[in-house]
């Protein structure tokens, strides 16, 4: 089981970490902590995985549930991306702009309803809509409509700050 877990960890860590980043508004340290919690749960329950879905889908479910549990426990729901130090001579203007856009996008994602947040973070992770439907328990058609509406909301939010 040790080698199996090592392979699972190597194959899925980056995806889990990026998904956690979306839930904690880009806080890298917090995302790493939550990702670690996810893989502790994967390790503890790997023998209970029934292979009714792919291992990736199972891990995404654990990740989403772990992130939601963290947010509920902390009741904050909004986390800050660390600010770029203005006095750092090595920071280039493009990085500041990228960080600001990223910060704005995470802030907009945080304003979404819980289900919408789950769906868009999985979309951003590149999961097929059918797999997102399986993870969330919604129909594939419902996910297609939700994704369209969420993208409209995020576009409006990012462009107009609403």
Q: What are the Cα distances from residue 66, in Å, to 2, 73, 103?
A: 22, 11, 22
pLDDT in tens, 33-64: 999 999 999 998 888 888 877 888 889 889 98
Segment 75-104 shows an average pLDDT of 57
Segment 105-120 shows an average pLDDT of 87
pLDDT exceeds 50 at position 148 = yes
Buried b (16+ CB within 10 A) or exposed e, 96-118: eeebeeebbbbbbbbebeeebbb
8 A C-beta contact, residue 35 and residue 20:
yes
pLDDT band at residue 94 using 50, 70 and 90 as cut-offs = low
pLDDT exceeds 80 at position 96 = no
Q: Considering the entire predicted model, what is its pTM?
A: 0.60
């Amino acid at each position: 089981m040790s080698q199996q877990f090592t392979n699972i960890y190597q194959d899925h860590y980056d995806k889990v970490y990026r998904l956690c980043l979306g839930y904690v508004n880009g806080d890298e340290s917090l995302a790493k902590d939550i990702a670690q919690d996810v893989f502790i749960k994967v390790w503890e329950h790997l023998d209970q995985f029934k292979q009714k879905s792919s291992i990736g889908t199972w891990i995404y479910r654990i990740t989403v549930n772990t992130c939601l549990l963290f947010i509920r426990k902390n009741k904050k729901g909004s986390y800050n991306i660390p600010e770029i130090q203005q006095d750092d001579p090595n920071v280039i203007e493009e990085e500041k702009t990228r960080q600001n856009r990223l910060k704005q996008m995470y802030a907009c994602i945080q304003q979404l309803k819980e289900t919408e947040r789950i769906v868009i973070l999985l979309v951003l992770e590149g999961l097929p809509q059918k797999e997102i439907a399986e993870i969330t328990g919604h129909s594939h058609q419902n996910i297609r409509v939700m994704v369209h509406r969420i993208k409209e909301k995020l576009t409006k939010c990012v462009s107009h700050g609403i």
